[in-house]
Chain A
Amino acid sequence: MTETNGYQFGFLDEYAKKEVRRSVLKAIALPGYQVPYSSREMPMGRGFGTGGLQLTLALIGAGEVLKVIDQGSDDSVNAVNLRTFVEMTCPDISTTTKTQEATLIQSRHRIPEKALTERQVLVLQVPYPDALTVVEASEDRRKAMHGEADYSRLLVKLYEDIVTFDEITISHRYPTRINGHYIIDPSPIPRFDVPKMHQSPALILLGAGREKKIYAVPPYTEAIPLAFEDVPFRVEDFSDAQGRRRPCQRCGCRLSYLDEFINSTTGDKVYQCSDVDWCNDQLEMAREQAA
């Protein structure tokens, strides 16, 4: 065993990692099923990504290249702290901000814009793993509902949404059916990212540290957002009042998920790519073309 800075490699002891890996195997074998696990104490508060962190630490090994993002950004406090922690406890790994260089990506709120590949694993931090909590308070009954794939009450919620607001108003954590059976809460990713899970070449693992659950969307697996036959699922379209797709004010991209800022001097609304790495890539490509 490698001792590093006084810590075990990967902070967790080998038994804890083994347990997480076993849960991961089970989660992959039962796509979308929430596998309970013990969720060890981490040196940070539950709810700050301990579920994702435990997955990362259990899977990471020498030679891995890690990228950590929070809200699409590599530089936000949570992402920086998590990255520093992994660097400190796992000396033989390297980190990156480039999506295509990473073998392991830990993320909160976003799936990177750049298409993931078969050699990559995406780890998502999940606050609320069970999509049924909004319609059923009892966990016992929720388990039975998952077992029987009884999700009609989620559809009733969508029905009520359409009746009240003329459209489905769920902006993130959109209930998504995996491999034709279990419906998952795909963590707080926006609707925009849900289609990226469908038939994804990369393995997607979701870890909820506080709720002690791990689940997975295995590679090349169906991930279908819940919708009606005649009211299909749609993603955020970012169009302005004239119906034109807004571009990123920094790189001009019209395909990415945009964050809305208020310009503090002018008070105007400003739209910019949420995925910083993607935005930088677009700028660089534009510069190369201009040169």
Chain B
Amino acid sequence: MKEGMKKILELDSFSKVYGRGCLRCFEETGPEQTNICPCCRSVVAAHDVSFSLYQGEILGIMGESGSGKSTVVKCLYSDGQPTAGVATFYDNGQHHSLFDLNKAQQRQLRNQRFGMVYQNPNLGLNFDISAGGNIAERLLMSGDNNYGRIRQRARDLLRRTEVLPERMDEKPKNFSGGMQQRVQIAKALATDPPLLFLDEVTTGLDLSVQAAILDLILEIQHELQTAMIVVTHDLGVIRLLADRTLVMKYGRVIEAGLTDQILEDPQHAYTQRLVASAL
């Protein structure tokens, strides 16, 4: 990492176990075995995950279904409590210990400083209210109470994410999948968050739409210097977006480094198989 770059996020020794857990959970599970502890049947969704993230950087987390990649992001976004670990979010000279916040503080950070884009627009958007209303919701949550200003901001954001502003008063359920994803991105960006989580954002979209969404994400990164964590199983997305990548399997990080290095010269057998199969 370049000297003098601003650190946004630091995650240290993160673990998440579903179930009661036992003393042997961590030694009996791992990338060579499975993520279910043979002693107590607990699921070790993630163990000993550490990384740091700098301003304007995109970190990719890659792995197959059940590898624990989404678990990490969910806990960072306060959608779950980790079993162990420390996460520190650096923001305007302050730092917040993400796993020690109370509900109100969690909500405040989620609403104002983080953005989340889900694979399924159902999760990120309320389909019963208009596209503009969805963006308004986030602005209202962060305390803006001026109707005219909210409308203007929603219009600007939709224009920025290439959704026709004329359609802002329509419900997103009338939109195509790609449009819904753009509205989700506009909503996530509403409060100019320094950190954005993208969970399988292009999965399920057709190829040309995928390319357009990925372009949009890159443009936003350049323009706003937003740091992002991109969770995906798609090597193409990793190759295009991520500066650095973690490869996960059965809840462990098996390989981490610069994306180019990992794709050109994978060290772990699993990554080698993954890269080989994609090419």
Contacts and interface: CB of A to CB of B under 8 A. Distances in A.
A binds B: yes
Interface of A: 144, 148, 150, 152-153, 155-156, 159-160, 162-164, 228-231
A229 B132 contact: no
Contacts of B104: 148
B148 A159 contact: no
Contacts of A230: 146-149
Contact of A153 (B137, B145, B147, B148): B137
B220 to A, nearest CB: 24
Given A144-B103, A160-B130, A152 B137 contact: yes
A150 to B, nearest CB: 7
Contacts of A153: 137
Can you list the 7 inter-chain pairs with the closest CB atoms, starting with the nearest? A152-B140, A228-B147, A152-B141, A229-B146, A155-B140, A156-B137, A231-B147
A229 B129 contact: no
Interface string B104-117: 10010000000000
Interface of B: 103-104, 107, 129-130, 132-133, 136-137, 140-141, 145-150, 169
Contacts of A229: 145-147
Given A155-B136, A159-B140, 16 more contacts: A148-B104, A148-B107, A150-B107, A152-B140, A156-B137, A156-B140, A159-B132, A159-B136, A160-B129, A162-B147, A163-B169, A164-B169, A228-B146, A229-B147, A230-B146, A230-B148
Contacts of B150: 159
A228 B145 CA distance: 5
8 contacts: A150-B107, A156-B129, A159-B136, A159-B147, A229-B145, A229-B147, A230-B146, A230-B147
A152 B108 CA distance: 12
Nearest to A163: B169
Nearest to B147: A228
A150 B145 contact: no
Contact of A160 (B107, B133, B148, B149): B133
B130 A163 contact: yes
Contacts of A148: 103-104, 107
Nearest to A150: B107
A4 to B, nearest CB: 50
Contacts of B169: 163-164
A150 B140 CA distance: 10
Contacts of A163: 130, 132-133, 169
A152 B134 CA distance: 11
Nearest to B137: A156
A150 B148 CA distance: 21
Contacts of A159: 132-133, 136, 140, 147, 150
Contacts of B140: 152, 155-156, 159
Contacts of B132: 159, 163
A162 B140 CA distance: 15
A205 to B, nearest CB: 29
Contacts of A156: 129, 133, 136-137, 140
Which of B103, B130, B133, B140 is the most central at the interface, judged by chain A CB atoms within 10 Å of its CB?
B140
A160 B128 CA distance: 10
Contacts of B149: 230
A63 B133 CA distance: 54
Contacts of B145: 155, 228-229
Residue of A156, A163, A230 with most partner-chain B CB within 10 A: A156
B204 to A, nearest CB: 27
B114 to A, nearest CB: 16
Contacts of B129: 156, 160
A60 B107 CA distance: 44
Nearest to A154: B140
Q: Which of A153, A155, A159, A160 has the most CB of B within 10 A?
A: A159
Nearest to B139: A152
